[in-house]
Structure 1
């Protein structure tokens, strides 16, 4: 585990306003795509296209805006978002990601027992549940859930938001707590918020102990792998829904 001090944020001219702008981009783009889909009278194949667009575009667009903000108002993502590559961080991310998978499984089982199995399912899981997707669509969804989504979300929450909190002079423990809570709430799935907090803990811990984003990205990818693979196998009809 790295115990080196957090680097100074010299030249960073962005803070909470940048995060609020990124969240606004995410929400408004999602609303816009949903509005188009609801008025298009789409058939199944078009609905699958809208499913991909509505799931992927808002998150990718928001993450892109976060990166642009660091380029225009700061030192770029490598410095401002702590996106430095480090093999030691990869190892930490793998370990905490594996722990997160176990924790997620246990938490989901407990949640399903007391709240109901349906409420433990993510929004994307509900959308593909019982639906046989074209293989190409299922593969794209798998890649998004396992890789693209985690990278983008880490850039936004444990990159941009974490940096905004630290810029205020708050401790990294405050950053860990707030980013975990806001990450869970931002999924806009009220019934699953407490479950999402549990899922987010190992990911946040990876960022906390290494002070860089690589570990949390790896932990997030590992944590999402089995759910993403399950969605893929169900979507193509290999596993029963």
Structure 2
């Protein structure tokens, strides 16, 4: 029988099993909750609507304009994340404490493991999902925009950086940072926070056809946050999970791969 050394970190399965039902301690000075998350979501939706309205008013086809593709894809999420961080400064202790942004190399390792697991899980789930919805519908909102715009190399690289790095960081700040913290403030369990953030993360992308797939994608990312109690692991897992889709978008945009 294998013996685990006392200084050896527990396995992922053991870490998940060790998660209790007790609520997480809320930091003193945190004076924000669900209202903050709703405000951030409103900023996301309204900014996206505003950008679309500007495009239509100017007579621009948003799907064929490189500028509007980049702005429409990036600005709402980045702006919403910026508002989330600002709220923690104005109504709390700042993002590093309130959103559990403490750095730990052990969290990076957990994120890498769960990110790799997420790639496999996402690949299998995407195959099943594409069979269910059909190949013509098996795409994302960003993927459809990139296909229609014919991005130049510089714009394609910028989109790759956003999909792989900037987007995951922003989404983690919003969902497993701000929303998770709002749930903790209600003194609900970590499991409740995991389930709710997973479901709301999937629904928050506003892509009904992909919601079931997004739930599967979100599971390993949420588990990273669940077992480490910090945001670093889920950010790393999210980045790893988005790398192949981001690379595919880049290769399609520059014409190396067929759309």
TM-score tier, shorter chain, comes to over 0.9
Q: Is the 8 A contact 2:26 2:184 kept in 1?
A: no
Question: Structure 2 regions of 5+ residues with no counterpart?
Answer: 1-9
Q: How does 1:120-135 map to 2 (within 5 A)?
A: 120-129=138-147, 131-135=149-153
Question: Structure 1 regions of 5+ residues with no counterpart?
Answer: none
Task: Report the CA distance shift for 1:67/1:44 in structure 2 as closer, same or farther (over 3 A).
Answer: closer
Question: What is the Cα deviation at residue 118 of structure 1?
Answer: 2.8
Q: Is the 8 A contact 1:37 1:47 kept in 2?
A: no
Task: Report the CA distance shift for 1:38/1:106 in structure 2 as closer, same or farther (over 3 A).
Answer: same
Aligned equivalent of 2:74: 56
Q: How does 1:209-224 map to 2 (within 5 A)?
A: 209-224=227-242
Question: What is the Cα deviation at residue 44 of structure 1?
Answer: 8.5
Aligned equivalent of 2:5: none
Query: Residues of 1 paired with 2:136 and 2:221: CA distance?
Result: 24
- The alignment's TM-score, normalised by the length of structure 2, stands at 0.89
Query: Residues of 1 paired with 2:70 and 2:133: CA distance?
Result: 29
Task: Report the CA distance shift for 1:43/1:185 in structure 2 as closer, same or farther (over 3 A).
Answer: closer
Aligned equivalent of 1:232: 250
* Superposed structure 1 runs of 4+ greater than 6 Å apart: 2-5, 43-46
Query: Residues of 2 paired with 1:118 and 1:15: CA distance?
Result: 40
Query: Residues of 1 paired with 2:75 and 2:151: CA distance?
Result: 19
Q: Is the 8 A contact 2:33 2:182 kept in 1?
A: yes
Query: Residues of 2 paired with 1:40 and 1:78: CA distance?
Result: 41
The total of aligned residue pairs comes to: 241
Query: Residues of 2 paired with 1:86 and 1:162: CA distance?
Result: 19
1:184-218 CA distance string (max 9 Å, x none): 00101111101100000000000000000000000
Q: How does 1:194-213 map to 2 (within 5 A)?
A: 194-213=212-231
Question: What is the Cα deviation at residue 127 of structure 1?
Answer: 1.5
Q: Is the 8 A contact 1:132 1:234 kept in 2?
A: no
Query: Residues of 1 paired with 2:128 and 2:114: CA distance?
Result: 21
Whether 1:66 and 2:89 are equivalent positions in the alignment is no
Task: Report the CA distance shift for 1:25/1:43 in structure 2 as closer, same or farther (over 3 A).
Answer: closer
2:132 to 114, 117, 122: 114
2:106 to 84, 88, 92: 88
Q: Which has the larger radius of gyration?
A: 2
- The alignment's TM-score, normalised by the length of structure 1, stands at 0.95
